[in-house]
Amino acid sequence: MKIAVIGTGYVGLVTGTCFSETGNDVTCVDIDLAKVEKLSSGQITIYEPGLEKIFLRNQKEGRLHFTTSLQEAVAAAQIIFLALPTPPGEDGSADLSYILKVAAELGKLIQPSDYKVIIDKSTVPVGTAAKVRAMILSTATQSIDQSFDVVSNPEFLREGVAVEDFMRPDRVVIGTESEKAIKIMNDLYAPFVRQGNPIIFMDEKSAELTKYAANSFLAVKISFMNEIAQLCERLGADVDMVRRGIGSDERIGKRFLFPGIGYGGSCFPKDVQALAKSAQEVNYNFSILDAVMEVNQRQKLHLVPKIASYFNNNLAGKHFALWGLAFKPNTDDIREAPAFEIIRALTAQGATVSAFDPEAMSNSKHVLGDSIQYASSQYEALENADALIIATEWSEFRTPDFEKMSNIIKNKVIFDGRNLFDLEQMNNLGYYYESIGRKTIGSL
Ligand SMILES: NC(=O)c1ccc[n+]([C@@H]2O[C@H](COP(=O)([O-])OP(=O)(O)OC[C@H]3O[C@@H](n4cnc5c(N)ncnc54)[C@H](O)[C@@H]3O)[C@@H](O)[C@H]2O)c1
């Protein structure tokens, strides 16, 4: 099948590459010329485990192309994915301008004789497929009413395991009532669900809402555990034990119960906000979501007063090592990453920071400039540090060389926002160690 993917960011590049892997001919479009040139010359633009290998293979086989020309890609394709940004607008609702701008262009490019399926893969509020359809029709110069369908096909991939998620999805959700589109979507996804995971067809509004419901539910789950962790700290309970105690109940499940310093990334924060806004627009107060946003904002800064209190509320001149800038491990994505809030809070109080992240250093430099130092290894970050702060649970941080660490760091003090280390081990190693929802090791 001939596919165009409009928008070649995290979702677009993974989508395009994975569809080429099953033999389709895919052209990815982006307005960012530098990005298109880089991809065309065989250089990957994001860090995503497993992606580079299949990207290079399919590019070499001539099944994966990159262009800035929407016209060229659309002319050749029957299937057109929109993987465009939907950032929060000023009022928190999803900004649809990127999508509607491309839809307006599509109206001029779709020919009456040439049926196409336009697929919203971006996360968009209920009613967007209808808006895209109306926008396409409004700019068409010919009668194309029967020449296209707009389908909602939200994406559930997780950054860090995006290729795995895309190639073997738990489910594929498709919102359309067009028989023609259902047949095409079924054929397109058949190779990805050979093990029996479902393709769930539904109306487009339900598909659009499903994506927001999924992300918001997960944000509720993680925020609930963060609140339990807060209680554990105050009551002297251990959140690890509580987590294990409730996770073994199948109705609750083991996953997504790990407390930390809040969720970040390009999806949960904006999607929770957008769903709350959608609810408001239909006069419904989705109060759980308001609580989730409040809890998460508080949680992102949870370590800061603990750090300040350890240093007698005077951080001027203190120097911190910070491990982890990405919003989660196995990605270079730093959007809404809790590490940045911590860095800003510490530097505002006169502290300095030396940070290390295995993949997110370059993106971080664009945002933070020279406001912090960038270490070339997790150990170099520890030089002259009054304490270590852990903000992302990269696996290489889990079992560091503690002897080496202890020889470098100035003070044996750790504030761990991801509960990486065993309390007994920290005690034996002589560290002052504060984590999330567990007892403090060592004394002030
Ligand atoms: N990142 C994720 O993990 C994830 C997961 C599921 C769903 N989503 C959703 O998918 C959508 C895309 O997210 P993303 O993280 O891939 O965004 P992104 O910012 O990484 O990528 C978007 C790309 O679109 C390009 N673009 C903007 N305007 C364009 C235009 N007119 N023509 C062509 N290209 C254009 C940008 O240059 C950029 O490369 C969002 O709605 C997001 O909520 C993201």
- Find tokens 């359309």 and name the residue: 176
User: And the tokens for 14?
Assistant: 């993974």
Q: Coil, strand or helix: which one is 296?
A: helix
Q: Is the CB of 12 under 6 A from ligand 1?
A: yes
Can you give the residue ranges of every domain in the chain? 2-202, 212-299, 301-434
User: What is the longest distance spanned by two Cα atoms in the chain?
Assistant: 76
Q: Which residue's CA is the closest to the ligand 1 atom numbered 4?
A: 11
Measure the CA–CA gap between 129 and 205, rounded to whole angstroms.
8
All residue ranges of the chain with pLDDT < 50 are none
Measure the CA–CA gap between 273 and 214, rounded to whole angstroms.
14
Exposure string of 31-64, with b = 16+ CB inside 10 Å and e = fewer, is: eeeebbeebeeeeebbbbeebbebbeebbeeebb
> Active-site residues: which are they?
267
Q: Is the CB of 267 under 6 A from ligand 1?
A: yes
Residue 99 alpha carbon to ligand 1 centre in Å: 10
**What does the pLDDT read at residue 314?**
98
DSSP H helical segments within 282-369, as ranges?
A: 287-300, 303-310, 338-348, 361-368
Residue 121 alpha carbon to ligand 1 centre in Å: 9
* CATH number of this structure's domain 212-299: 1.10.1040.10
Task: Ligand 1 pocket test: pick from 14, 30, 272 the residue with the most ligand atoms within 8 Å of its Cβ.
Answer: 30
Q: pLDDT tens-digit profile of 31-78?
A: 999 999 999 999 999 999 999 999 999 999 999 999 999 999 999 999
Measure the CA–CA gap between 3 and 77, rounded to whole angstroms.
5
| 301-434 matches 212-299 in CATH topology | no
Beta-carbon-side half-sphere exposure of residue 150 (alpha carbons within 13 Å): 26
Q: Is the CB of 215 under 6 A from ligand 1?
A: no
Task: Ligand 1 pocket test: pick from 17, 84, 170 the residue with the most ligand atoms within 8 Å of its Cβ.
Answer: 84
Task: Ligand 1 pocket test: pick from 172, 266, 328, 332 the residue with the most ligand atoms within 8 Å of its Cβ.
Answer: 266
Fold for the domain defined by 2-202: Rossmann fold (3.40.50)
Measure the CA–CA gap between 247 and 111, rounded to whole angstroms.
54
Is residue 214 within a helix (H) or strand (E), and if so which, with residue range?
helix 204-235
Q: Does CATH number 3.40.50.300 belong to domain 301-434?
A: no
Amino acid at 15: T
